[in-house]
Amino acid sequence: MNDSNTAHLGAPARRLDVIIVGAGFGGMYAVYKFRELGLAIQGFEAGGNVGGVWYWNRYPGARVDLPSIDYSYAFSPEIEQEWTWKEQFAAQPELLDYINFVADRLDLRKHIQFNTRVTSAVWDEARQLWRVTTDQGDVCEAPICIMATGPLSIPKDPEIPGLASFKGDLLRAAKWPHQPVSFAGKRVGIIGTGSTGIQIIQEIGPQCGELFVFQRTPSFTMPMRNEELTPDYVAEVKRNYKSIREAALNSAVGGVRPTSTRGFFTVTPRQRQSLLEDAWKQGGLNMLGTFSDLLLNEEANEHVAEFVRGKISEMVKDPATAEALKPRGYPIFARRPCLDNTYYDTFNLPTVHLKNCLVDPILEITERGVRLESGEVELDMLILATGYDGLTGALMAFDVVGRGGLTVNEVWKSGARGHLGLMMAGFPNLFLTTGPTGPAALANIIRTSEHDVDWIATAMAHMDAKGLTAMEPTPAAEDRWMAIVAALAERTLVSKAKTWYVGANVEGKSQGLTMFTGGFVKYREYCRTAAEAGYTDFTFEPAREMATA
């Protein structure tokens, strides 16, 4: 590493080879990968430790909704053998233990500066370096900057007047306190019934004096049927990790999950019913995998939605509450499908009250609680599970300035753009992991992170071999990629719900599906081809004299 004084650009900068922003799954793997390549690296992380969303989201009931076996790193056979998962769907403490185990085992923390938020990243065109500053006064420079900032790292408060006036305890799911929180004897309110809200509600419902659930849009949720993993099962998995990973890489979602080639209307109504009943009993995401066309055929989708609505009626005793819990008006699976353990049972407790904000809207938050059109609900505690400025929020939250003063904020004003989810025209050597124009939230984020970091390393090796220092996609390649993304988005029902997937949850945000919905296998193929075809979609620059000075 060189320490060069670049005082002509402001504060003296520390010179590095690679700067990595974020220390979730993607950032940690990037730190490991580039350290092993012998490069001078520095990671920055706003949180106090590794873990990303799993560091912040310590709310009661937080749990992964993919099998833990899949939701883990594949790059280290040693770690696969040394770590033993306890539950099929691990809870947040087990996930954080795993992440910390990996950080310790690979000695990653010494490369990451915690409690540090990156405030700007500016491309210095003359010197072909990214200049990165932080809220702790750091100034670093490196030819390569990797934004491992994740699709869900900017939590979003609801746009409800009066939030600041609430005098009780205000808790945010995405910034949950590190100390235990007691709900006993308290009147607790929760706003938000997405994946996060559902997990919190089922966990704390029985613990609260009273729980008031302020629901605007109901979510579809299906039984998780979580279980402890037996030693025999774990041993079997450890023997077969290689083939499990292979299967995940060759699946549409980057994980081992049931899939089918059977179209919904190719079987009789009686067979459909029996297949759906089986899937419901098995739990997990079996429902989605029962038929091949549930995200393509609106009529098939509605049949499955109606099946789940029927289950809600069976589980929730009060018919009016059951009715209010039934999602309508958007396709099932178009919002992130939730998996629960006891969500619907929670509403059978006499102390849990559903407030249907579609018919009785929230007017304001007051000193004492939440005022609905029908009157005020007094609360001791209010929990916000109101989601994130997803996909683009993290990179639009600070100054990322590319060639000629071009900012990510300008480029993404009308929606995310990029090539392969990995790079953007005008931003040389700025690499994204799980970027908003790749599969992002639609595939296993760990498989995608590993894939993306490996792709970046290969691209860097290509530049090294050819004596090149900077690469970026051509505007034409980016246009072609965005056209592919848009054409796929047209076909899928995922576009048809108002969710964070399409930016609909943030006021004033440009809306549209920019994630690649063609599946993980196809995505990998596009990325592989881009490299194997000699990076013809990219322009490269040779080293300039100043950069090596």
Tell me how far, at minimum, the Cβ of 334 lies from ligand NAP, in Å: 11
Task: Report if residue 193 touches ligand NAP, rule: CB under 6 A.
Answer: yes
Task: Report if residue 449 touches ligand NAP, rule: CB under 6 A.
Answer: no
Single out the residue of 103, 305, 324, 362 in contact with ligand NAP (rule: CB under 6 A).
Answer: 362
Cα–Cα dist 482/490, whole Å: 12
Q: Report the residue closest to ligand NAP, judged by CB.
A: 194
Cα–Cα dist 439/518, whole Å: 8
Task: Report if residue 357 touches ligand NAP, rule: CB under 6 A.
Answer: yes
Cα–Cα dist 545/548, whole Å: 6
Single out the residue of 160, 247, 468, 531 in contact with ligand NAP (rule: CB under 6 A).
Answer: 160
Give the DSSP per-residue string, 158-173. Answer: ---TTGGG--SEEEEG
Cα–Cα dist 459/471, whole Å: 9
Task: Report if residue 152 touches ligand NAP, rule: CB under 6 A.
Answer: yes
- Residue closer to ligand NAP (CB basis): 63 or 131: 63
SS3 at position 53: helix
- Residue closer to ligand NAP (CB basis): 160 or 484: 160
Structure tokens at 422: 């990995």
Cα–Cα dist 175/354, whole Å: 24
Give me the residues paired with residue 4 across strands.
Answer: 13
Tell which residue, 154, 144, 153, has the closest CA to residue 20: 144
Single out the residue of 25, 500, 516, 535 in contact with ligand NAP (rule: CB under 6 A).
Answer: 500
321 touches 483 (CB < 8 A): no
Tell me how far, at minimum, the Cβ of 239 lies from ligand NAP, in Å: 27
Task: Report if residue 195 touches ligand NAP, rule: CB under 6 A.
Answer: yes
Single out the residue of 47, 67, 197, 415 in contact with ligand NAP (rule: CB under 6 A).
Answer: 197
Single out the residue of 119, 124, 158, 474 in contact with ligand NAP (rule: CB under 6 A).
Answer: 158
Tell me how far, at minimum, the Cβ of 61 lies from ligand NAP, in Å: 9
Residues 328-347 that bind ligand NAP (CB under 6 A): 336
Give the DSSP per-residue string, 474-542. Answer: -HHHHHHHHHHHHHHHHH-GGGGS-SGGGTTTSTT---S--S--S-HHHHHHHHHHHHHTTSTTEEEEE
362 touches 378 (CB < 8 A): no
- Residue closer to ligand NAP (CB basis): 276 or 357: 357
Single out the residue of 88, 217, 346, 449 in contact with ligand NAP (rule: CB under 6 A).
Answer: 217
Rg (alpha carbons) of the chain, rounded to whole number: 24
Single out the residue of 18, 96, 191, 304 in contact with ligand NAP (rule: CB under 6 A).
Answer: 191
- Residue closer to ligand NAP (CB basis): 45 or 203: 203
Span interacting with ligand NAP, options 251-259, 340-348, 367-375, 386-394, rule CB under 6 A = 386-394
What per-residue string of b and e applies to 190-202 under the rule 16 or more CB within 10 Å gives b? Answer: bbbbbbbbbbbbb
- Residue closer to ligand NAP (CB basis): 216 or 496: 216
The residue length of the chain stands at 549
Q: Residue 355 gets which letter from DSSP?
A: E
Tell me the per-residue interface mask from 455 to 494 with ligand NAP, x by CB under 6 A, - otherwise: ----------------------------------------
Task: Report if residue 255 touches ligand NAP, rule: CB under 6 A.
Answer: no
Footprint on this chain of ligand NAP (rule: CB under 6 A): 63-65, 152, 158-160, 191-197, 199, 216-217, 336, 357, 362, 385-388, 441, 500, 505
